[in-house]
Structure 1
Amino acid sequence: MATDKVSLKLLVDKSSQTVLFAEAGKDFVDFLFYILALQVGTVIRLLVKTGMVGSLGNLFGSVEKLNDVYVKSSMKDVLLKPKALAFVSQLPCLLPKTSSSDSTPKSYYRCPSCEYDNCWNYVAEDCSAICPHCRNSMNHIFTLVKSPAGNPTAAAVSAAVSNGQGGFVQGVVTYMVMDDLEVKPMSTISSITLLNELNVKEIGHLEERVVSLGMDEGIKLPRASLHSKKVLTNVFLGEK
């Protein structure tokens, strides 16, 4: 069952108020990797109302404002509400739903002619399309209902869920997530090596903090990742 909160253990350098790394389980790493599966239009739609950094938000807003005279109506949803990959039910619910388009059956069009059997071999997404066989308008509407087994991604998801292994990564491993979101397996040796690499001199300056990641932080995390190398510090300790 998906959760709406994820617990995370941070190692914080109190002297610089910086997160050195996070000790994370499968749920947090699954969420990070799910962000990669989101299309750019979906990410922008999530972030544009909460403070989009950069120019992609302006591009998104331009498509929203231009009417059908300039942008094809059939293409507007393709740009503004792109279909996400099949969502794994076990992933934490840390992002708001942006569209119900994935669960809404899509309408397609066929030629209405009954005179030629070959006319029924053609399908169109636009009712103004012309049948290649009889040259009639393809305005006979019908609805395509997708089956989860009909696409490889959903099939892989279903198999993973049935095995109790929903998500992207294995659940038996503890992961180390760096401040810049680099993910690697957690181990005592790798932790010590990392402290040396970060030139940590005073162990007494280090503090362990347990934080909770909810939808608010779920939105902040991809936003911070677009402009910062200190993502965990920005999200959990406040932007410097």
Structure 2
Amino acid sequence: MAPTQVELKLLSHTKARKVLFAEAGKDFVDFLCSLLILPVGTVIRLLSKSTSSSFGTLYKSIENLSQTYMQPNLDKDILLKPQSSYPVSGAPFLLTGVESASKKFYICSYNHGYIAETDQAICPSCDRKMSNEVRYVPPTRSNASSSSSGEGYVKGAVTYMVMDDLTVKPMSTISSITMFHKFNIKDIGDLEEKIINLGIAEGLKLLREALQSKDVLTNVFLDKNSVGKI
């Protein structure tokens, strides 16, 4: 089962009040990867309470639009609750409202070779509703990657460095030293290491910040009361 909370370690500069980078495992990087395949409609729905963009007003107007004005073979949920086109099992389930079920498709009772994403579609051959549900089967994993370690997007047993702007790279001593030079770190006492537990609330905030900022980790985590110095 995909985790609903993941842990990462932040290294921040106390005087600059900025996160330099996070030391993260597979779970957090898998979560970041999952953001890349979220449909726009899902992103808007997740952030509808915290966004004033025109996309938000467009979403609400379609949500409030009577089904009478929609094409008879169209279910509004295709627009309002779209599913990812390539769901991957094992990725952290940190965003409420994201459909986790397998993608569904429909055919007519005579199976004329057409497939639809809604049970309201009409078969072009027989003019009957395509209401017989069939399920999408994702590509079969090889035996070598069929274990839980083969789930998600990136490989486990690797520590990743995630920058404040969400740049992801493998963690190494050289990359850490490079970061210290980049930010002109001269006094190691100015650095603070913190353990963060990322849950649903933080996941939503991270998604919002990722759409409008390059100081994502700083804005989401730096001043959290739950953070403790180690």
TM-score (norm 1): 0.79
Please name the residue that 2:228 is paired with. none
The alpha carbon displacement at 1:83 in A equals 1.8
Count of residues paired in the alignment: 220
CA distance in 2, matches of 1:121, 1:144: 14
Partner of 1:170: 155
User: Which stretch of structure 1 is more off in the superposition, 39-48 or 212-221?
Assistant: 39-48
Partners of 1:11 and 1:206 within 8 A in 2: yes
Aligned residue identity for 1:139: R
Counterpart residue number, 1:61: 60
Match of 1:72 in 2: 71
- CA deviation map 1:36-81 (0-9, x unaligned): 12111112111113x1253321221122122234433505222111
Change (3 A) 1:93 1:161: farther
Alpha-carbon distance between aligned partners in 2 of 1:53 and 1:195, rounded to the nearest angstrom: 38
Secondary structure of 2:150's counterpart equals coil
More helix by share: 1
| Counterpart in the other structure of 2:127 | 138
The CA deviation at 1:156 is 4.6
C-alpha contact 1:63 1:71 (8 A) present in aligned 2: no
Residue 36 of structure 2 aligns to a residue whose secondary structure is: helix
* AA of the residue aligned to 1:45: R
CA distance in 1 between partners of 2:45 and 2:37 (Å)? 15
1:225 to 185, 189, 210: 210
Q: Deviations over 1:191-211 (max 9, x none)?
A: 111111122233211111111
- Classify the secondary structure of the residue corresponding to 1:4: coil
| Partner SS state of residue 67, structure 2 | coil
Residue 28 (structure 2) aligns with:
28
Q: Structure 2 CA distance, aligned partners of 1:218 and 1:192?
A: 29
Cα 1:2–1:121 change in 2 (3 A) is closer
Aligned match of 1:41: 41
Q: What is residue 227 of structure 2 aligned with on the other side? A: none
* Structure 2 Cα separation of the partners of residues 141 and 27 of structure 1: 39
CA distance 1:53–1:26, shift in 2 (3 Å): farther
- The amino acid across from 2:193 in the alignment is E
Find the aligned partners of 1:71 and 1:140 in 2 and give their Cα distance: 16
Per the TM alignment, residue 231 of structure 1 is displaced from its structure 2 partner at its CA by 0.6
Superposition RMSD in Å: 2.8
Give the SS at the match of 2:176: helix
Alignment of 1:93 with 2:78, yes or no, is no
Percent identity, please.
47
User: Whole-Å Cα distance in 2 between the matches of residues 181 and 86 of structure 1?
Assistant: 22
Long gaps (5+) in structure 2:
225-230
1:211 equivalenced with 2:211 (yes/no): no
Q: TM-score, normalised by structure 2?
A: 0.82
Structure 1 pair 83–170 and aligned structure 2 pair: CA distance change class (3 A): same
Match of 2:179 in 1: 194
State which drifts further: 165-174 or 82-91: 82-91
Correspondence 1:151-166 to 2 at 5 A: 151-152=138-139, 155-156=140-141, 160-162=145-147, 164-166=149-151
| Alpha-carbon offset, residue 227 of structure 1 | 0.9
Structure 1 portions without partners, runs of 5+? 112-119, 132-136
Match of 2:34, as an amino acid? Answer: Y
Corresponding letter in the other structure for 1:172: A
